[in-house]
Amino acid sequence: VFRSSLMAGGGKRGVTNPWLLEESEETRGLGFDELRQQQRRIIEEQDAGLDALSSIISRQKQMGQEIGNELDEQNEIIDDLTNLVESTDDRLRNQTRHVKMVDKKSTSCGMLVVIVLLLIAIAVVALWPTH
């Protein structure tokens, strides 16, 4: 009873027998060999699509690797520039310190010259005969 109800589409309501589904328009009226040829054609089309997809993915992988290589080179250049900038910054700071020291020394040396000149002027005025 159960087996015959399954084949006849009976039994529980809402459950359909998969063997009783209608055939699609594409396969209706085709023989076994024609169905087989259609399946082969579909498989060949899918294979061609997969081959195209594979070549696209392969190209994208290659592009990604090239981009990665370019980024590595750019990072090396940036690292070199960073080192050069740090070195230049250190030298600039050292030179600035030297300039400040020279400026202080020249200022104090200038004052010493002025003081010596004033002392000489005072001595000359003090010793100058006023007759």
For 21-59, the pLDDT digits (tens) are 666 667 666 777 888 888 899 999 999 999 999 999 999
How high is the pLDDT of residue 23? 64
Average pLDDT over residues 75-102: 93
CB 92 within 8 A of CB 100: no
Q: What percent of the chain has pLDDT over 90?
A: 44
Which of the residue ranges 37-41, 81-85, 123-127 has the most confident prediction, judged by mean pLDDT? 81-85
H helices within the chain, ranges in order? 2-8, 32-127
Q: Note down the domain range covering 92.
A: 32-119
Is residue 62 a part of any domain in this protein?
Answer: yes
Evaluate whether residue 43 is within a structural domain.
yes
Token pair, residue 71, equals: 């980024």
Domain count, the chain: 1
**Per-residue confidence band for 1, with pLDDT thresholds at 50, 70 and 90:** very low
16 assigned to some structural domain: no
The pLDDT assigned to 11 comes to: 47
Cβ(8)–Cβ(19) under 8 Å?
A: no
Pick left, alpha or beta for residue 13 (phi over 0 → left; psi -120 to 50 → alpha; otherwise beta): beta
- 108 alpha carbon, distance to own chain's centre: 56
Q: Is the pTM of this model over 0.85?
A: no
